[in-house]
Amino acid sequence: MKLLVVEDETKTGDYLRQGLSEAGFVVDLARNGLDGHHLAMTGEYDLIVLDVMLPDVDGWRILRALRDSARTVPVLFLTARSSVEDRVKGLELGADDYLVKPFAFTELLARVRTLLRRGRDAAAPEQLQVADLVVDLARHRAMRAGQRINLSSKEFALLELLVRRRGEVLPRSVIASQVWDMNFDSDTNVIDVAIRRLRAKVDDAFSPKLIHTVRGMGYVLDVGDEG
Ligand code: CA
């Protein structure tokens, strides 16, 4: 699960990034509104924690831009003011929840988890299936032809990404940022190795092959022609 935190206060930003990382999330931190706006509009996040009071592009503008472009990513906004108008404004603009500063980290974490669960319940199925491959998202398990496949947590994350975006060629840079929290310049050999391992488990003993290499572009999971 990948989160974006937009927070200009250095201490709060560091604290949120550290806490959320320790809770198992991949976290991008934007320290100003401009970066936050850019990442929110171009990145792929499961949830955004958005401070409202930012010195340049404020949280309202970021939220409005997201919803105007039909991005449905859950947004938890942070407000220093406890005024009713502020809260109403945020919710009217399409925020999913809010917290008034100062807040306890445990409360933020609970809200984040609730929003992520709600999103999953509403929008996504519990299981994804391609041919005889079944990915059980709730139990973090994968089966092929009725046989349980043992995957590490990274392998499962990689398989989940490929299955969710079935038929779409995923460049290594996208896989790196979604599964490993690495940026484009990182060593993408890690991805090739992980794909090889995943293939050995998911495809080697089965037919049809599902994970395909698209030369010079990346990887795609689908039933179809060998890449
Ligand atoms: Ca602020």
Where are the domains positioned within the chain? Answer: 2-119, 127-221
Q: What is the DSSP string of 39-87?
A: HHHHS--SEEEEES--SSS-HHHHHHHHHHTT----EEEEES---HHHH
Instruction: Provide the β-strand partners of residue 135.
Output: 128, 142
Report how far ligand 1's centroid is from the alpha carbon of 80 (Å).
Answer: 8
Report how far ligand 1's centroid is from the alpha carbon of 73 (Å).
Answer: 21
Report how far ligand 1's centroid is from the alpha carbon of 11 (Å).
Answer: 11
Report how far ligand 1's centroid is from the alpha carbon of 195 (Å).
Answer: 41
* Ranges of H-type helices in 176-224: 189-202
Report how far ligand 1's centroid is from the alpha carbon of 124 (Å).
Answer: 33
Q: What is the pLDDT, as a whole number, of residue 188?
A: 65
- As residues whose CB is below 5 A from the ion ligand 1, the structure lists 8, 51, 53
Is domain 2-119 given the CATH code 3.20.20.70 in the classification? no
Q: For 170, which DSSP code?
A: B
Dist CA 227 CA 224 (whole Å): 9
Report how far ligand 1's centroid is from the alpha carbon of 38 (Å).
Answer: 17
Highest averaged pLDDT of the listed ranges 37-41, 112-116, 174-178, 183-187:
37-41
The pLDDT of residue 227 is above 60: no
Q: What is the pLDDT, as a whole number, of residue 121?
A: 60
3-state SS assignment for residue 24: coil
Read off the amino acid at residue 164: R
Q: CB of 82 within 8 A of CB of 100?
A: yes
Q: Residue-wise over 28-48: b if at least 16 C-beta within 10 A, else e?
A: bbbbebebbbebbeeeebbbb
Mean pLDDT of the chain: 89
Q: What is the mean pLDDT of residues 5-20?
A: 96
- Smallest CA-to-CA distance from 111 within 100, 102, 98 is with 98
Report how far ligand 1's centroid is from the alpha carbon of 101 (Å).
Answer: 10
Q: What is the mean pLDDT of residues 145-158?
A: 91
Class of domain 127-221: mainly alpha
Helix axes 59-68, 33-42, angle to 10 degrees: 20
The separation between CA 64 and the C-alpha centre of its own chain, rounded to angstroms, equals 20
Q: Going by DSSP bridges, is the β-strand pair 75-79/97-100 parallel, antiparallel, or unpaired?
A: parallel
Report how far ligand 1's centroid is from the alpha carbon of 220 (Å).
Answer: 40
Q: Going by DSSP bridges, is the β-strand pair 47-51/2-6 parallel, antiparallel, or unpaired?
A: parallel
